[in-house]
Amino acid sequence: MTQIQKDFIAKISPLAVAGMKKTNIPASLCIAQACLESDWGRSETMKNSNALFGIKAGSSWKGKVYSSKTKECYDGVNYTTITDLFRAYSSVDECVADYFALLSGADRYKNLIGEKDYKTACRKIREDGYATAPNYTSALISIIETYGLTAYDICDNSDSSAIPAQKSNAVTYKPGQAVKILPSAVRYTTGQPIPARLKGATDTVFQISKDKRWNSAAGEFQQSVLLKNVYSWFWATDVEMI
């Protein structure tokens, strides 16, 4: 993962989590689409219009717009280049807020509300007509899996995923703090197994979750930390300060 990618995820993830808490639409989907649609924040439309998601400006849109060429695949095989109007924003915060408002307010995207499986969410949004690219679903899934974005969906993929997050009373770790991954660590907060090669390894805290998350294995709410080099979320009880 490049520094640009790390910084982009760090910038977008708090907004995505906040939007998820309001709408119950997965934060991982939001982050993945932002990465894909804006080329990790490097596209000209992102730089000039704060447009992360390439949302077209229909007749009901009363805000700012920008005109851009885009490729559409109407027959599932061939791409056609067209020029269309897209929604523009005064800030990234406004853009992410509008994204969640669109998905939670439009009838065709209502099937995303409450969806817990990221693969299903990626499939649904393609089928709902968000994009015409045949590989749109697989591209989103690849980004989510490569960069561990399900960690931002608050709870792990278990039957306890509906349990709401609780505010932490204290934060033990701080960004920049050196830590060691305990040999006893078993799974990331996503529920995926931690490779044996990482057990006992040292790393640096990059970010701390604002809320405690439900750890189904421990049966309790726990703090979690994002480690800089591995760039994955660990339960705070699975690392120790050095």
> What are the residue numbers of the active site?
72, 98
Alpha carbon distance 1, 19 (integer Å):
25
Determine how β-strand 178-181 pairs with β-strand 239-241.
antiparallel
Helix axes 92-105, 27-38, angle to 10 degrees: 120
Reduced to 3 states, what is the DSSP secondary structure of residue 16? helix
Q: How far apart are CA 242 and CA 235, in angstroms?
A: 16
| Rounded distance between C-alpha atoms, residue 168 and residue 145, angstroms | 27
Q: Which residue, among 6, 22, 5, has the nearest Cα to 98 in the 3D structure?
A: 22
In 10 A of CB 89, how many CB atoms?
Answer: 21
